[in-house]
Chains A and B, each alone.
Chain A
Amino acid sequence: MFDFLQDYDLLGAFWTTVQLAVLSAVGSLIWGTVLAAMRVGPVPLMRGFGTAYVNIVRNIPLTVIILFTSLGLNQTLGVSLGANDVETINFRLAVLGLILYTSSFVCEALRSGINTVPVGQAEAARAIGLSFGQVLGNVVLPQAFRSSVVPLANVLIALIKNTTVAAAIGVAEAALLMKEMIENEAQLLLISAVIAFGFVVLTLPTGLILGWVGKKVAVKR
């Protein structure tokens, strides 16, 4: 029944999915943190930039962004991100698109974490004479990070699922393989079940584990 699977690189496709997810997760965590820092910082211009970026990027479909990285950045403007063959270029473009898109959600998740810290915490910390660095490092950020775990986990799960959009520019990940398999083989339900199982394996444990961690570290108020 599963014979036809031998003709396809199923594990390879899911490995590409995982690579897309991990690279984009790391990238969007960095860029998202920078954006969050801008959005909550004291400089009005940076705040404006952060807000504008998040509101614009969040409202564009990821599909449009990823397709644009291929058609616009690569084919029209000749950006190739230091790669030579088409496959690597498309992979890197997909990661770039995912980072640009996901970081706006990372920014919002971090900001929501910071917003859960009552102002009184910082005021009390200043009142007992802690310096700015101590207030941030010992009082505010530890609480903020703890309540960011669950929203960040949601963003990560959404990101894992969003990697399928890379199929739109021909990155050989799970959804593209599924499309190819369905076109060539007859076992529609079986193929879909296998691919669906793969994604359930990737997303459900992530959600459960990080949800548990989130509850464990949450600040009880």
Chain B
Amino acid sequence: MSSVLYDAPGPRAKRRNVLLTVVFLVALAALLWWVFGTLKDKGQLEWALWKPFFSGSEAWSTYIWPGLENTLKAAALAMVIALPLGAVLGIARLSDHVWVRVPAAIVVEFFRSIPVLVLMIFGLALFAEYTNVSSDDRPLYAVVTGLVLYNASVLAEIVRAGILALPKGQSEAAMAIGLRKGQVMRSILLPQAVTTMLPAIVSQLVVILKDTALGGAVLTFPELLASANTMSGYYGANVIASFTVVAVIYIALNFILTSFASWLERRLRRAKKSTGAVLKADDAGVAGSNATGTGGP
């Protein structure tokens, strides 16, 4: 096979590739050997430390499932609230009126340039000081607030890019047959833009899901990472084992979401129902502004 970077390999290139493969294999094996050696030295490969995850359901029912439930709850709440808010902000940024467009732009750019963690810390203190939300619920509220503020502004950019990516002829034709501005947006632009935005929106869900872990590490929100921490204390400091299990869960969840996003992207590209270019799931390629998908932690 040939790519833009190299030609189809000839006999010499083939020999070189085999050599590189062997060298790389040796380096990789040496690295793995070193990792296993260190783990063994520190006694982290003892079966006792890994046993809780494989035999019996106590570790899962006491720590992992409740943690995972909180993670998913926070992510789902954040997505459900952020999506309409982001749509409104995104459409507001495209408004014909300066007094709608400019404030929306300021809000979006402001919240996009601040770390989620700062927003979460702010939310926690805000709920403690000005509301009577019970201190048990406060971390969840704070995590969701931070995630909503940040992701709504990111989603606003996705929505804006999705609408801008549609050919100009769509809105021109709609206006030519006498539709009003609201009708053009509602019945012509949005239905087409939503399909092109779907992959980008789904991959923003990955960012939200990953960001919930911040709540566990800094705000005492009892989600998956925080419960892994307590769990490793309970089972005799099996840090490596618990973190491995938690990481695998995160990877599995996000992998499902990313695969779904790219399946959606492929399908939408093939279906060609919409006229606009399908926004890439990967980087939510926002036209002309610094974007998104590379997003949060």
Residues of A within 8 A of B (CB): 40-46, 49, 55-56, 58-64, 67-68, 71-72, 75-78, 101, 105, 108-109, 112, 114, 117-119, 121-122, 126, 132, 136, 140, 150-151, 153-155, 157-158, 161-165, 167-168, 174-175, 178-179, 182, 188, 192, 195-196, 199-200, 203-204, 207, 210-211
Contact = CB atoms under 8 A, between A and B. Distances in A.
Interface stretch (B83-91, B190-198, B251-259): B251-259
Given A76-B239, A157-B290, A162-B297, A42 B117 contact: no
Contact of A168 (B4, B218, B232, B258): B218
B228 to A, nearest CB: 8
A200 B110 contact: yes
A114 B290 contact: no
A72 B239 contact: yes
B118 A154 contact: no
B39 interface: yes
A151 B283 contact: yes
Given A61-B213, A61-B297, A204-B109, A44 B251 contact: no
A40 B5 contact: yes
A61 B211 contact: yes
Contacts of A63: 210, 213-214, 216-217, 225, 297
Interface of B: 2-7, 9, 13, 17, 20-21, 24-25, 28, 38-39, 42, 44, 109-110, 113-118, 121-122, 125-126, 129, 206, 209-214, 216-218, 225, 229, 232, 237, 239-240, 243, 246-247, 250-251, 253-255, 258, 282-283, 289-292, 294-297
Contact of B20 (A46, A109, A164): A46
Ordered nearest first, which 4 A-B pairs have the shortest CB separation?
A62-B297, A59-B254, A61-B213, A61-B210
A70 B102 CA distance: 43
Contacts of B129: 188
8 contacts: A49-B24, A114-B4, A119-B4, A161-B114, A164-B117, A165-B217, A174-B118, A207-B290
A199 B225 contact: no
Nearest to A112: B283
A55 B3 CA distance: 22
A60 B126 contact: no
A63 B209 CA distance: 12
Given A108-B283, A165-B117, A42 B42 contact: no
Most B CB within 10 A of own CB, among A77, A126, A174: A77
A41 to B, nearest CB: 8
A67 B115 CA distance: 18
A114 B250 contact: no
Contact of B115 (A58, A105, A164): A164
A158 B297 CA distance: 8
A59 B4 contact: no
B41 to A, nearest CB: 9
A64 B7 contact: no
A77 B42 contact: yes
Given A161-B115, A188-B129, 18 more contacts: A42-B9, A63-B297, A64-B213, A67-B217, A68-B239, A72-B240, A109-B283, A119-B4, A136-B5, A155-B294, A161-B296, A164-B118, A175-B117, A182-B121, A196-B114, A200-B113, A203-B113, A204-B109
Nearest to B112: A203
Contact of A158 (B21, B117, B295): B295
B225 A43 contact: no
